[in-house]
Structures are given as structure tokens and as C-alpha cells.
Chains A and B, each alone.
Chain A
Amino acid sequence: MSTTTVKPQKPWVASPKDRVESVLVFIVAIAISAVTVAVTPMKGKLAYVALFFISYLVLDYFFNRIKRGKAAGIDSVFRAIVGMAIAIAITPIVSILAAVWQRGHKGLHLSLFTTDMHSAAPSDPIINGGLLHAIIGTGLLVAFALVISVPLGILTALYLTEIRGRFTRPIKFLVQAMSGIPSIVAGLFILAAIVYPFTKAYNGIVGSLALSILMIPTVARTSEEVLRLIPSELREAGVALGGTQWRTVAMVVVPAARSGLVTAMILGIARIAGETAPILLLTGGGDSVNTNMFHGSMGSLPFYIFSGLTTGTDESITRAWAGILVLLVFVIVLFVLARFLGNRKVGK
């Protein structure tokens, strides 16, 4: 047995000395921006950030240029610009999340999920009432929209990827155009096409129909992308084994794309869960639980938030922020789930 032990090393990783130097450059840049803000007329947070970025860019460039040459200097400029762009892009998202948490968490309590608002006035203490009716309403609206949109969306995607008939191009174009429809237009369409001529009243199902118009393009486009990733060798293998096209699609292509199709579904739900305009137009609101999709107005999270904010008492505004927090968490959970399912290896 050999007694020599070789320690695994990573010679390509920055040494502690390198790291200290990079941090020093960073600190010097902060110091320069602080001094500039103090001695020049440029003031405010924005000036501070902008000056820091410029001084860091220049310092880092010269530091790297002196140390490792011109190419490394330019490399460091690009790295700094990319890092700054990411920081700018992430800032609004993080600040939205922070604002929602800051204002919403005060309205959180356990009975929020077990009671509705029918016996609570807008100015009642937060502990009274809850958003059970809104959660149930949003759940039902989304579920019905899901039942309508997922089959239509996936079948559309199958037409585009498997049948590839004469109408592939126009349908693809229409699906892309549809995904840009403003939600208020979808709501007005259902209002004009169904509510005015026929039902003439608020109810849940017409809201779900409008949400479906918004959801179908998302499901169809995502499913199409997923189905395109399935290698054509699998389709050929299925057909070469004596399967008809329909059986090959049903038994080979769709199962191979299963996790991607689930992702398409979840992205579709996330697209519509927070839609407000069509719900305001078609489903209305309400303070008590209504589980009948075909009769009466129905509460929902977006409506709850809308009415809470417009009522204007301190309590109702806090309730609305709690509603926003619940809705946001719901959507984030869906996206995380979509990522998780999408990243799983096909067939595992």
C-alpha cells in the first residue's frame, strides 16, 4: 500500500491574497463614492449608487490591467457591468417581496384561513374575519379554468408538434398573439359574448372562461416547447413498432414529456391566479363562501385585495396586504414546483 497522500487542490481558485485585494478595491470604491457625495453637490441614494458603480468600474479595470494585462482589465469591466445589471434587475423584485412581507405579515393570523368576512365589518379588528371565501373562490376559478385550458392547450400543442397540418403556421401565430391579450379584453369578450346575451348575472363559471382565454396560450406554448424537445427518434421508434400515430403520441411522446407538461400546467395557473380585471367584470366579489360556480358572485383573492385597498380603513388595507402576501406565496410555490418538476429527468 502506498503511503504518499496527495491532497486534492484547486489551483484555479483565487488565493486568499487575491480575495483580500478584490475586497480592498470594493471598499476603496465605496470610500470614493462616499467622499464624492460629501464634497460635491451630487446628493442622494441614487448618486451614491451611480458613483460607486463608476468608481468601482474604473478602479477594478486599472487594478486588473496592472496586475494581469489589458485583456484581464477589459474582462473585469464586463464582469462588473453584468453584476450591476443583475443587481438592478433584482432590486425591484426583492423590494416588492420585502414591502409585501412588511405590510402583509401584520394581517396574518390563523383564522384568516378558516373564516370569511360575512360577519366582519371593514373597520373591525384584524383578528375578526378572514379570507377563506377568497381562497375557496380563487381555488374554484383556477380549477375550472384548468379543466378547460389544459386539454385545449395540450391538444393545440400536439397539433403544432405532431400533426403539423396545413394550419400549423397560422395557429402558431394566433397562439403567440393570444398570449399578449390584455386580461381586461378577455373579460370584456366574455361579458359581451356570454354574460349580456345569456346569463346576465355575476357567477364563477364566466370568470373561469375569461381566465381560460388567458391560460390556453401559456399552456399551449409551453407544452409545444416541451414536446419539441422529445427526440424524433422516439416517434420513429414508436411508428416503426407498428403503432399508429395516435398510439405513439399517447404512449411514447406524451409520457416522455410528462414532467414538462405538468410544468406547462403550473405556469398556466401562475399566469391567471392573480388576474383581477376579468374577475371584477364577470364574477364580482362577496364576503361569504360561495361554492356554486353557476350562481351568484364569488369572492376571490384579487377581488379581496382590490376591495380591501379601496375601502380605505387601516384594518381593510392591512387585510388587503395579507391577501397580497397569501397570493404571492401561492404563486411563488407554484413556480418553485414548476422548476422542480421541470428539472427532473424525463422518465425518472
Chain B
Amino acid sequence: MADDINNPDSGNTGKKNEEDMSTSSLAAVAAGRQSHAPATQALGVGLEARGVHAWFGDKHVLNNISLDFWPGTVTALIGPSGCGKSTFIRTLNRMHEFIPTAALAGEVLLNGEDVYAAGVDVTKIRLKVGMVFQKPNPFPSMTIAENVLAGLKLAQLKVENKDDLLEECLERAGLWKEVKDRLGTYGGSLSGGQQQRLCIARSLAVRPQVLLMDEPCSALDPGSTLKIEETIQHLSSSVTVIIVTHNMQQAARVSDYTAFFLSDGGPGEMVEVGPTSEIFSRPKDKRTENYVTGRFG
């Protein structure tokens, strides 16, 4: 894709661009952001991972991750490629089991209840924990409007006023103004950035409590990336957002909390988690500091 050449967000080039970026300037970005992080948080509310391990076949890819996601916050997962960030967020809405060889240990608590408990309806979990993928994937056989409302049909939900919901979701995804006159055209006719916002709108239509974003901007140009980041800022007041990103500036710009994942060749582990401004200004772990200052990775 030609876009990748100028794309500061695509995995490899992204890190190169960060090399001249000092810790302090990222920290400044992070500090300048109005944080939604609440001072205290009642336990048992929101999404919590408790000792999550993951395997693909015999390969242990994720080791003992425990992480809480507060409602109304944005958490960024950063770390080099292959450290298990994407695998981890896919365990949160049970997309992990979509891969035939996948296995798992540990608990993921949504509002205090384990999503992997026996008898849990997996489709209900995925309704509450929505997902936006790395590559924009609008349904090719559906129009823009049908794409946004596809979740309702897929999950057989009833809605009083579809037009209002359509407008609301596209508005929240920051796409309404651009597409309101061509809701009947196919989703594939939009640009990559618009398609990704369409996918965000599609996820919002089923009113998820949590939205997982797996490198949502890695296939997009800087302008579209900025729009998605604005969208994330708007969403974070009503939805818990968890975003995997290779772009540390993005993590600093959009997130309240940052978790740093790393694999030393074995299973991926979480090195450190904390408020984003601290991760970028006073990381506790030397490895985190090396990574955020671009000294390795």
C-alpha cells in the first residue's frame, strides 16, 4: 500500500521515527492531555484480566497478565511486535478462541463475572466488548447504512428508531458529515480512514461497554489517524477504550493509562502499567524507559 511509506503509525517505521523523540517530549504530550482517570475506583466494575495466559498450540504466547480497565478511560497497550498485545485484547472479548489451536488460562471479569465461565453466552460478551480491527473491514455486500446497523441484524437486536441510531453512531465516529448524503452507497467506496471510522460506528451501534482497538490506525495516513484519535477522545467519556498501538505518540496523545508488554523470546509479559504521563516521564522499569525513548524495539 502506497500509504505505508508516509505512515508514521505502521509498526516498523513508527519506531524509527520515535528515535529522536526524547522521553520528556512524549511525557509532555501525555501530561498535556486532560485525563479522565478517576482517583479511586470501585472494584468489580468494568473489565479486569486476572492471571491471563494464552497459547497457540504448544507455544506459550502470553504469561500471567493481570490488568484492570476503568470505565471511562483509555488504556494503551504498547510494546514491540510479537509481544502478545493483540492476543491479549482478543482474550478480552473471546475472539482468541476463533483460532483453532488457541488455548487459555486465567479469568477475564466483565462487571465482576468471568466471561469464560461455563454457560456464558459468548455472543453477549462480544456485544458488550466490541472490537475494531487493524485493517478496515466493512462488509462489502452492504451499504454504509447497512454496515452501521449490521450488528443489530447479526445479534438480532430490536431498535425503536434506526435512523436516529444510524446518525448517532456515525456522528460519534466522526463520519456523519462526510457520508450523510450517500448512506446508500457501498462501504467499499470510502477511503481507508473513512472505512475505519465506519467500522467504529458499526461497533458502537450495538452499544458496547468496552471497545477494543487493535492497531486501528496502522493502515491509515496521518490525517485519518488524527480523526480516529479525535473519535477516541470523544468516545472515552461513554465507553472504556483499550487500544493496541505501535505509535508511542499516539499512546501519549489518547490514553489515560499505558501498559508496556515485552517478550524476551518466550511468552509475552506485561512489564509495567501506570498512568500514561508516568510511563512516559518516570517509568519504573529500565526496559520501559529504553522502549519509550526508542533505544530498542
Q: Does A120 contact B (CB under 8 A)?
A: no
Q: Helix, strand, loop or mixed for chain B's interface?
A: mixed
Contact A242-B206, Cβ < 8 Å, known A247-B154, A347-B186, A348-B186: yes
* Cα A120 to Cα B141 with chains together (Å): 52
Contact between chains at B93 and A240 (CB < 8 Å): yes
Q: Does A150 contact B (CB under 8 A)?
A: no
Contact A242-B126, Cβ < 8 Å, known A236-B98, A248-B154, A251-B153: yes
Contact between chains at A239 and B186 (CB < 8 Å): no
Q: Mark A225-258, 1 if CB is under 8 A from B, else 0.
A: 0000001011011111111100110011001101
Contact between chains at B203 and A234 (CB < 8 Å): no
Contact between chains at B141 and A258 (CB < 8 Å): yes
Question: For window 165-217 of chain A, which residues contact chain B by CB distance below 8 Å?
Answer: none
Contact A241-B137, Cβ < 8 Å, known A251-B150, A347-B186, A347-B188: no
* Cα A236 to Cα B132 with chains together (Å): 10
Q: Does A79 contact B (CB under 8 A)?
A: no
Residue of B nearest to A235 (CB): B98
Q: Does A58 contact B (CB under 8 A)?
A: no
User: Which residues of B sit under 8 angstroms from A252, Cβ to Cβ?
Assistant: 139, 141, 150, 154
Number of residue pairs A-B, CB distance < 8 angstroms? 83
Q: Does B71 contact A (CB under 8 A)?
A: no
Q: Mark B53-88, 1 if CB is under 8 A from A, else 0.
A: 000000000000000000000000000000000000
Q: Does B176 contact A (CB under 8 A)?
A: no
Range of interface residues on B (Cβ < 8 Å)? 20 to 34
User: Which residues of B sit under 8 angstroms from A255, Cβ to Cβ?
Assistant: 139, 141-142
Q: Considering only CB atoms and an 8 Å cut-off, how many residues of chain A contact the other chain?
A: 24
* Cα A236 to Cα B140 with chains together (Å): 14
Q: Does B120 contact A (CB under 8 A)?
A: no
Contact between chains at B206 and A241 (CB < 8 Å): yes
Q: Mark B109-151, 1 if CB is under 8 A from A, else 0.
A: 0000000000000011011001101010101111000000011
Contact A233-B133, Cβ < 8 Å, known A241-B155, A242-B151, A256-B139: yes
User: Which residues of B sit under 8 angstroms from A234, Cβ to Cβ?
Assistant: 137, 139-140
CB distance from A129 to the nearest CB of B (A): 48
Residue of B nearest to A347 (CB): B140
CB distance from A219 to the nearest CB of B (A): 20
Q: Mark B188-221, 1 if CB is under 8 A from A, else 0.
A: 1000000000010011001000000000000000
- B residues near A (Cβ < 8 Å) are 93, 95, 98, 100, 123-124, 126-127, 130-131, 133, 135, 137, 139-142, 150-151, 153-156, 186, 188, 199, 202-203, 206
Q: Which 3 A-B pairs have the closest CB atoms?
A: A243-B154, A255-B141, A242-B155
